[in-house]
Structure 1
Amino acid sequence: MTDQSSRRQAIGVAAASAAGSAAFLAAGTGRAAAVPTRRTGPVYTIAKPRERLLTLERWDGPAVLLRAAGEPGQQEWELLSVPDGTVPDGTVFLRNVGEGTYLGYEGAPHVNKLIAGRPHPVGWELRAGAEPDTYHVVAPGGLVDGAELALDLGLLLVYPPRMSLRPLRLGDERQAWLFTLEE
């Protein structure tokens, strides 16, 4: 098995396997019932070109894009899933290793909604990109204002660049994220 196919398989296994014995979501509430306190899934860095990594500098702070640096764990993400029927198949949760909070947003998704650390799991779908080990991180639930929404660079002209929900562009590799399994 090639290194590339083993990484894709690891992401597929994580998306289809249990994240631990605790159920993350109370049925129908979208709120955390029990949040694991230790690593239970594979850990990745999630990057854009030029080695800029998805980063969470504070537990409740905005998700930003920075070069490799900072406190240990701020740029590492645990890929978790719950195959117990409480969420749709293929839903994953991204938990920041350093801060222990989840990549997400509050309330209903909409275009340009800022992404930040959240205390409760927020679901995402991973859609394979055209390049090896790349995925579009998509807000589940279908169309919002005529488009599916995906994790992308926000439109705010600030440093460091903040992440927001933007219309999904499946053919655009600039919107895809490179997942690198940390060993």
Structure 2
Amino acid sequence: MAAASAAGSPAFLAAGTGRAAAVPTRRTGPVYTIAKPREQLLTLERWDGPAVLLRAAGEPGQQQWELLSVSDGTAPKGTVFLRNVGEGTYLGYEGAPHINKLVAGRPHPVGWELRGGGDSDAYHVVAPGGPIDGAELALDLGLLLVYPPRTTLRPLRLDDERQAWRFTLEE
């Protein structure tokens, strides 16, 4: 497996879907696993279920994510969409973003910004349009102590590498 190239580079963001509202029926972009330390992978076990962290396992595609960008002007420059390969839905949230909002599978694309997280293959996954509730919000582990751990929107901490996600290109 090769590490993803730097955020914003053409190789990393070049795969696009054409229109933001389009829902591809097959893979159209590069496929990544998205992980936290100790090989906990971002997982979508059900098309509309919460995005959770689990060790490598499960059905094929549940832990694989396409990184898609839109180049037709319907989304701000630098916006990406994360589409789950196994379920065909997008990483996102319902309604307006706010602190502790649950992140789950959504039927339509939800935009994210990627910001460098220290390591060359680590990125903060940030909800665009901030600050919200007085802070920019990023994908992070939720505060509830449940298994499997769920993801929510939390205040962005660029200096905290534990909040960043490691993107690994699947070959």
* 1: CA distance, partners of 2:7 / 2:137: 25
* 1: CA distance, partners of 2:154 / 2:6: 27
Contact persistence 1:14–1:80 (CA under 8 A): no
Equivalent of 1:172 in 160, 164, 167? 160
Q: Does 1:68 align with 2:56?
A: yes
Equivalent of 2:126 in 129, 135, 138? 138
Equivalent of 1:19 in 12, 16, 31? 16
- How is 1:49-128 mapped onto 2 (pairs within 5 angstroms)? 49-128=37-116
> Structure 1 residues 18 and 71 mapped into 2: Cα distance closer, same or farther (>3 Å)?
closer
Which amino acid counterpart does residue 17 of structure 1 have in structure 2? A
% same residue: 80
* 2: CA distance, partners of 1:16 / 1:133: 14
Which amino acid counterpart does residue 120 of structure 1 have in structure 2? H
Which amino acid counterpart does residue 147 of structure 1 have in structure 2? A
Contact persistence 1:15–1:80 (CA under 8 A): no
Shift of 1:15: 5.6
Q: RMSD in angstroms over aligned alpha carbons?
A: 1.5
Q: Does 1:44 align with 2:32?
A: yes
Corresponding residue of 1:28? none
Structure number with the bigger relative contact order (C-alpha 8 A, sep ≥ 6) is 2
> Structure 1 residues 139 and 111 mapped into 2: Cα distance closer, same or farther (>3 Å)?
same
* 2: CA distance, partners of 1:172 / 1:139: 17
Number of residue pairs matched? 170
Q: Which ranges in structure 1 are unaligned for 5 or more consecutive residues?
A: 25-31
Shift >4 Å, 4+ stretches: none
